[in-house]
Amino acid sequence: MLKLKRFPLLLVSLMGHLTILLTFSGSVTPAYGQTVGQGIPSWGQGPYEVIIFADYFCPPCKRIDAKAEGLFKELVASEKVKLTFVDVPFNRATPTYAKYYLYAVKADAGINNALHVRNVLFEAAQGRRVQDENALVAFLKEKNTAWKAMNEKSVFPHLSAVIKEHKVDATPTCVIKYSAKDIKKYVGDDEIWDGLTKFKAHLWTVK
């Protein structure tokens, strides 16, 4: 699990980065799927919402993504849930990864592709420990991908706003919105898995 309070030196850099992102202006690129806020890609639709906050360099984030992959697909297929992944920049390289993620899911808006993209980026971050953008591009070429970096100015401010709205200070974090007044928050892969399985059980009782 990554927490802000454990990275005081990095925090200065990241908070500065987030401040810059929040001052960006310009048009949003509503080119893919449903949206949370504006311009943030999401999958599925319905009265419920699940938001996964993660950093590609966070081992528990990778674990919960892998463990819940099938469940994520079920939630989207249920036509009752909107699922969103938000990249949280605890690592200084994460904003670069986010640009390639956003481009890749714009090119192919299916949930299977989104999960594949995340798997590849988790591998780059934790298997190869890629920090440099040139090295990331080289890694993606090895994987026979044609991803490019998306212009982040249209989306990053909205990602920052969602992170701030839900007071995310650790990854992985999961927010499940049962209703406007019933919002649950889980932190850590074990707690998230427990929350997701309880949510799934509830979901199947709803017509």
The domains located in the chain, with CATH, are 2-203 (3.40.30.10)
Structure confidence at residue 146 (pLDDT): 80
Q: Which residues make beta-bridge pairs with 50? A: 83, 176
Residue at token pair 């802000």:
4
- The pLDDT of 60-71, averaged and rounded, is 97
- The pLDDT of 186-201, averaged and rounded, is 97
The CA distance from 104 to 64, in Å, is 21
pLDDT digits (tens, 9 = 90+) for 168-189: 999 999 999 999 999 999 999 9
- Going by pLDDT thresholds of 50, 70 and 90, the confidence category of residue 37 is low
Closest CA to 129 of 55, 54, 57: 57
Residue at token pair 């990602």:
159
- Range 72-102 burial, b when 16+ CB lie within 10 A, else e: bbebbebebbbbbbbbbbbbebbbbbbbbbb
- The pLDDT of 107-116, averaged and rounded, is 91
Q: Are 42 and 36 contacting, i.e. CB atoms less than 8 angstroms apart?
A: yes
Q: Are 43 and 33 contacting, i.e. CB atoms less than 8 angstroms apart?
A: yes
| pTM (2 d.p.) | 0.83
Strands, sheet with 81-87, edge to edge from the N-terminal-most edge strand: 34-36, 40-43, 81-87, 48-54, 173-177, 183-187
* pLDDT surpasses 50 at 18: no
The CA distance from 202 to 196, in Å, is 10
Q: Which of 45-59, 72-86, 100-114 has the lowest mean pLDDT?
A: 100-114
Q: Which residues make beta-bridge pairs with 52? A: 85, 174
More confident residue, 72 or 107: 72
Structure tokens at 112: 């299977």
* pLDDT surpasses 50 at 8: no
Proportion of the chain in helix, strand, coil states, percent, rounded to 5 = 50, 15, 30
Share of the chain above pLDDT 70, in %: 82
Q: Are 95 and 152 contacting, i.e. CB atoms less than 8 angstroms apart?
A: yes
- The pLDDT of 95-108, averaged and rounded, is 91
